C-alpha cells in the first residue's frame, strides 16, 4: 500500500519530506535552542546544514519540472540524507562511547569569526566542543539518535522513489 502511494504521488512525498525538514529545523532552532537554551555543537550544526540541503533538494524535486530535474534533485537529497545520517551516527556513537578527552570541535560562530572560511570549514568537521553531551531526550533517544532515524528514513524513501522512478517516472 505504501509503495503504491509512492508510485502515485512521488511529488507529494517529496514535498512532505521538505516540509518535515523545515518543521525539524524550526523545532531545533525555536524550541530546543531558543526556548530551552541548548547550544548546538559543531556536529549538530553540520546536521542542520544537511537538513537544510535535504529540504531544499526535496522542495525543488517536488516542483514541476522534467523527470531528469526530479531525479537529479532526489539524488542530491539522497546524498545529503546519507551525509546527515553519517554525522548523526558518529555523534550517537560518541555519546554512547565518549572518549576520555572531548574532541568534537570549537563553537561554530567562534571559528567563523576568528578564522578565514578556508580554515574554519575543516575545523567544523574536526571539532572540539562537547558533542558527547546528551542535553535532551525523547522516548529514550538523544537529538543525534532521532536525527539519525529521520535522515535514514528520508534516505530510504528517496532510494525507493529513485528505484521505482524508472517504472513510474517520478511523475
pLDDT tens profile 155-168: 999 888 888 775 55
Where are the alpha helices (H) located in 27-142, listed in sequence order?
A: 42-62, 67-96, 108-114, 117-126
Q: Could you tell me how many residues make up the chain? A: 171
Q: Which residue has the cell 546519507?
A: 82
| Segment 95-119 mean pLDDT | 61
pTM of the model: 0.72
pLDDT, position 154: 92
Q: Is the pLDDT of residue 127 over 50?
A: no
- Please determine, for residue 37, whether its predicted confidence score (pLDDT) is greater than 80: no
Fold for domain 2-97+131-168? Bromodomain-like (1.20.1550)
DSSP three-state, residue 132: coil
Model confidence over 68-86: pLDDT tens digits?
788 888 889 999 999 899 8
Q: What gap in Å lies between CA 47 and CA 45, rounded to an integer?
A: 5
Evaluate if residue 109 carries a pLDDT over 70. Answer: no
pLDDT-based confidence at residue 112 (cuts at 50, 70, 90) = low
Residue ranges per structural domain of the chain: 2-97+131-168
First to last CA, the chain: 18
CA triple 152-158-160, angle to 5 deg: 105
Gyration radius (Cα) of the chain, Å: 17
Range 38-51 average pLDDT: 82
pLDDT at 55 over 90: yes
Q: Which pLDDT score, from 0 to 100, does residue 41 have?
A: 77
CA–CA gap between residue 84 and residue 80 (Å, rounded): 6
Tens digit of pLDDT for each residue in 11-22?
888 889 899 999
Amino acid at each position: 500500500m505504501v509503495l503504491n502511494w509512492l508510485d502515485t504521488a512521488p511529488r507529494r512525498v517529496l514535498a512532505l519530506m521538505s516540509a518535515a525538514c523545515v518543521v525539524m529545523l524550526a523545532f531545533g532552532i525555536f524550541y530546543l535552542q531558543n526556548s530551552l537554551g541548548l547550544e548546538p555543537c559543531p556536529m549538530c550544526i553540520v546536521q542542520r546544514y544537511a537538513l537544510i540541503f535535504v529540504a531544499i533538494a526535496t522542495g525543488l524535486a517536488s516542483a514541476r519540472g522534467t523527470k531528469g530535474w526530479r531525479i537529479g534533485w532526489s539524488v542530491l537529497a539522497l546524498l545529503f540524507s546519507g551525509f546527515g545520517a553519517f554525522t548523526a551516527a558518529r555523534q550517537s556513537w560518541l555519546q554512547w562511547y565518549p572518549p576520555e578527552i572531548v574532541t568534537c570541535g570549537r563553537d561554530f560562530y567562534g571559528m567563523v569569526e576568528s578564522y578565514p572560511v578556508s580554515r574554519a570549514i575543516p575545523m567544523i568537521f574536526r571539532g572540539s566542543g562537547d558533542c558527547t553531551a546528551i542535553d535532551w531526550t525523547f522516548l529514550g533517544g538523544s537529538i543525534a539518535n532521532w536525527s539519525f532515524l529521520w535522515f535514514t528514513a528520508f534516505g530510504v524513501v528517496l532510494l525507493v522513489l529513485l528505484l521505482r522512478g524508472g517504472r513510474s517516472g517520478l511523475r
